[in-house]
């Protein structure tokens, strides 16, 4: 037996089939695990209608970024009560049970019967209320960290099911590459090598005003304006045409019908995006906002665009240059 292992009996539950079996499997003793937690952009987002369960159906292409948060997990030993403790370097981030990191820890413990309590340290860089998937990405980072600490009792499909239980857009973060999302976001399909090559590595400027947009509010607004929905057939046709045309650049894919409701309330968004188009950019809003982005040519100087953003939105705005992962 390796000196870095202790002979514990792990209870592995096949929770998808309702069966349980005990497997003699030593848990590796790992002092800490650190997981990168990327932001994402919705390069294409077509909300197609409201479902009977209250969620919305969508067709979306989402791409992770090479920039984001960092989550470190350290086991504290077996214990009762909450399965985790969370600290964060951003005081605005809630660190109670409302945070998806701790909800992920509770769900993981329930599914796997792993009894360790875990101390999480979140290095936060993704702004909240941005439409960049920060909370969902953190939840998936927590699942990945816990699975490694516990000796990987869950395979990739099992992790994807847990991720979908935590949030509609959580599962996309398990792919580590651009994906197509369908349903309420839980049905994830990798984009494919040819289409992925037109996205991965593209430079992008991400920017957000001081205010955020609540996702629930945005979806309530579009539900009240059915004309803003994009028919599912039209959404799929747009995506299929872009995937089929190997010469179509990433810019030809971009669209987001949640802009309709967000722009109607927050005029600072369409005003700035109009100014940036005058600079030759093709900016869009990501998700439900308020973060927006502009893809950059490989040799472009991002400084003029960044300066235009700061001039319009002031020093309190957020600006970050990165690449699509």
CATH number at residue 119: 3.30.230.10
Does 40 qualify as catalytic in the annotation?
Answer: yes
26 and 153 co-located in one domain: yes
54 has a pLDDT exceeding 80: yes
CATH number at residue 286: 3.30.70.890
In terms of Cα–Cα distance, which of 186, 86, 103, 90 is closest to 143?
103
Q: What is the mean pLDDT of residues 239-253?
A: 97
pLDDT in tens, 113-150: 998 999 999 999 999 999 999 999 999 999 999 999 99
pLDDT at position 9 over 50? no
- Cα–Cα–Cα angle for 264, 268, 270, nearest 5°? 60
| % of the chain at pLDDT higher than 70 | 90
At 319, is the secondary structure helix, strand, or coil? strand
Mean pLDDT of 174-194: 95
Instruction: Out of 190, 213, 234, pick the residue that ends a domain.
Output: 190
Q: Where a domain ends, among 190, 223, 244? A: 190
Output the pLDDT for position 80: 62
171 and 97 in a common domain = yes
Q: Strand 179-182 to strand 187-190: parallel, antiparallel, or no bridges (unpaired)?
A: antiparallel
Q: Are residues 186 and 304 in the same domain?
A: no
Domain C-terminal end among 174, 190, 206: 190
- Model confidence at 15, pLDDT cuts 50, 70, 90, reads very low
Verify that 173 and 302 share a domain, yes or no.
no
Average pLDDT over residues 41-56: 96
pLDDT value at residue 28? 53
Answer yes or no: 6 catalytic. no
pLDDT at 17: 44
Q: Which domain holds residue 273?
A: 196-323
- Say whether both 205 and 182 belong to one domain: no
**Whole-number Å distance between alpha carbons of 228 and 127:** 27
What contacts 243, CB < 8 A, 6 or more positions away? 191, 192, 194, 195
Give the mean model confidence (pLDDT) for residues 177-189. Answer: 96
Q: CA of 142: how far to CAs of 10, 27, 175, 248, 259, in Å?
A: 20, 18, 15, 37, 31
Q: Are residues 221 and 128 in the same domain?
A: no
pLDDT of residue 132: 97
Whether residue 63 is found in the same domain as residue 200:
no
- Of 40, 57, 124, 208, which residue is the catalytic one? 40
309 and 293 within one domain: yes
The mean pLDDT value of the chain amounts to 90
Report whether 33 contacts 141 (CB < 8 A).
no
Given pLDDT bands bounded at 50, 70 and 90, which one contains residue 197? very high
- Does position 7 have pLDDT exceeding 60, yes or no? no
Catalytic one among 12, 69, 124, 169? Answer: 169
Do both 52 and 159 map to the same domain?
Answer: yes
Question: Which residues partner with 257 through β-bridges?
Answer: none
- Can you give the three-state secondary structure of 168-210, one letter per residue? CCCHHHHCCCCEEEECCCCEEEECCHHHHHCCCCCEEEEEECC
Q: Do residues 239 and 185 both lie within one domain?
A: no
How do residues 76-116 score in pLDDT, each as one tens digit? 988 766 788 999 999 999 999 999 999 999 999 999 999 89
Q: Quick: pLDDT tens for 302-322.
A: 999 999 999 999 999 999 999
Residue 18 pLDDT class (50, 70, 90 cuts): very low
Phi, psi of 205 (to 5 degrees): -105, 120
Rounded to whole angstroms, the Cα distance separating 213 from 262 reads: 8
Instruction: Provide the number of structural domains found in the chain.
Output: 2
One domain for residues 49 and 184 = yes
- Residue 105 shares a structural domain with residue 217: no
């Amino acid at each position: 037996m390796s000196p870095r292992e202790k002979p514990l009996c792990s209870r592995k539950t096949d929770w998808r089939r309702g069966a349980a079996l005990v497997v003699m499997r030593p848990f590796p003793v790992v002092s800490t695990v650190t997981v990168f937690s990327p932001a994402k952009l919705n390069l294409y987002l077509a909300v197609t209608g409201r479902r009977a369960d209250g969620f919305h159906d969508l067709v979306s292409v989402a791409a992770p970024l090479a920039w984001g948060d960092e989550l470190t997990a350290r086991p504290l030993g077996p214990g009762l009560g909450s399965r985790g403790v969370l600290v964060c370097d951003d005081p605005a981030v809630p660190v109670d049970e409302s945070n998806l990191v701790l909800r992920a820890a509770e769900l993981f413990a329930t599914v796997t019967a792993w009894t360790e309590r875990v101390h999480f340290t979140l290095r936060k860089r993704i702004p909240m209320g941005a439409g960049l998937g920060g909370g969902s990405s953190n939840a998936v980072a927590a699942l990945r960290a816990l699975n490694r600490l516990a000796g990987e009792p869950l395979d990739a499909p099992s992790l994807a099911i847990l991720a979908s239980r935590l949030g509609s857009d959580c599962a996309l973060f398990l792919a580590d590459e651009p994906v197509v999302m369908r349903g309420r976001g839980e049905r994830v399909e990798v984009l494919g090598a040819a289409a992925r090559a037109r996205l991965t590595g593209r430079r992008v400027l991400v920017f957000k005003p001081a205010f955020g947009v609540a996702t629930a509010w945005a979806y309530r607004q579009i539900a009240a304006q059915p004309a803003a929905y994009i028919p599912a057939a039209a959404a799929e046709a747009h995506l299929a045409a872009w995937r089929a045309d190997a010469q179509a650049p990433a810019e030809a894919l971009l669209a987001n019908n949640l802009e309709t409701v967000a722009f109607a309330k927050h005029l600072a968004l369409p005003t700035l995006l109009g100014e940036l188009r005058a600079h030759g950019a093709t900016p869009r809003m990501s998700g439900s906002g308020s973060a927006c982005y502009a893809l950059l040519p490989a040799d472009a100087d991002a400084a003029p665009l960044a300066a235009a953003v700061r001039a319009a939105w002031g020093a309190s705005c957020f600006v970050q240059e990165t690449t699509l992962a």
